[in-house]
A and B are shown apart, each in its own frame.
Chain A
Amino acid sequence: DTEVTQTPKHLVMGMTNKKSLKCEQHMGHRAMYWYKQKAKKPPELMFVYSYEKLSINESVPSRFSPECPNSSLLNLHLHALQPEDSALYLCASSQESGYTEAFFGQGTRLTVV
């Protein structure tokens, strides 16, 4: 199994809603990542978890809250988002953080209305 699975594929939420994005991998990878990608732009790193601990937070606003319940799961909790937060949210995992290839999921297309 070389897949990173993200759910849901599409999400529309209001600015007062609370929602969560989910990511799962069963490759035994110990590093997991959240990226945000706007149209026609490269993915931008948001968070890195290494061995279930948050190791990098790229100054992401607190309305985005990551959680790593175990080594296979990564969540991104969303609250009070703005329309400009609409984007493709990508999850990735790698064997270790740093010098190994990261495998990406298909992403969640988020629209904030």
Chain B
Amino acid sequence: GESVGLHLPTLSVQEGDNSIINCAYSNSASDYFIWYKQESGKGPQFIIDIRSNMDKRQGQRVTVLLNKTVKHLSLQIAATQPGDSAVYFCAENAGGSQGNLIFGKGTKLSVKP
């Protein structure tokens, strides 16, 4: 079936650098997307979301970009810190108001001090 996937399973960056985590989705009907951060032994933590009527949204140190033409989502983290080390998942809502939130494969971000 259709699924959300990621280009890179692991990403290693130097502390202070910017990080970019990518996500490709295949369900053209998806109209709401969320980025989650999951640290070891914890549940996923909401980072930022975006609706399909937007192509960019900014939060604190994070920016999400949505390119509906190529079905691509990215998460940019500015000035990456050791505390940002985690697995990052993009998730898409493919079910409208039903809440069918489907997660992508995940990218493990490692920040080197």
Interface residues of chain A, those whose CB is within 8 Å of chain B, are 4, 31, 33, 40-45, 48, 50, 55-56, 90, 92, 94, 96-99, 101-107
Contacts and interface: CB of A to CB of B under 8 A. Distances in A.
Interface in B41-82: 41-46, 49, 51
B95 A56 contact: yes
A90 B43 contact: yes
A106 B45 CA distance: 10
B98 A56 contact: yes
A48 B100 contact: yes
A48 B49 contact: no
A56 B100 contact: yes
B25 interface: no
Contacts of A106: 41-43
Interface in B13-43: 32, 34, 36, 41-43
Interface residues of B, number: 25
A44 B106 CA distance: 12
B85 interface: no
A61 to B, nearest CB: 18
B46 A102 contact: yes
A45 B98 contact: no
B99 interface: yes
B99 A98 contact: yes
B93 A98 contact: yes
Contacts of A50: 98-99
Closest 6 CB pairs of A and B: A97-B99, A104-B43, A42-B103, A98-B97, A101-B46, A104-B44
Most buried by B among A31, A42, A96, A102: A42
B103 A43 contact: yes
A45 B93 CA distance: 11
A31 B43 contact: no
Contact of B99 (A42, A56, A90, A105): A56
A102 B91 CA distance: 11
Contacts of A98: 32, 93, 95-99
